[in-house]
Amino acid sequence: MVEKLSEELGSLYKIHIPEYLTNLKKAIDEEDIITMRDVAHNLSSAMGSIGDLESGALFKKIEKDDLPLSEVSLLLIEAESLVAATLTQI
């Protein structure tokens, strides 16, 4: 699924993706839609760039669709599981 990245690049993803996830959770909790969409966009791009198109699509849905925050929270739970699996492969 995920092509092997350089060790340095992989390390950066392993540091920054969890930070983005934390920021996304915070934005959802604070009902900050602008930040939520901005962070979801960053996550969608980042995950897509390492071959995780499935979580990338979920983050894109969070970014683009006008969903209730309860549904966004459920999508985030699903996406986090996919992200965790991907990050263990890089």
CA distances to 9, 10, 47, 64 from 84, in Å: 16, 13, 11, 23
Tokens representing 53? 């198109």
**What pTM did the predictor assign?**
0.89
CA distance 42 to 59: 9
**How crowded is residue 34: how many other Cβ atoms within 10 Å of its Cβ?**
8
What share of the chain has pLDDT > 90, as a percent? Answer: 83
Per-residue pLDDT, 10:
85
Where are the domains positioned within the chain? 31-89
Per-residue pLDDT, 1:
46
CA distance 84 to 14: 9
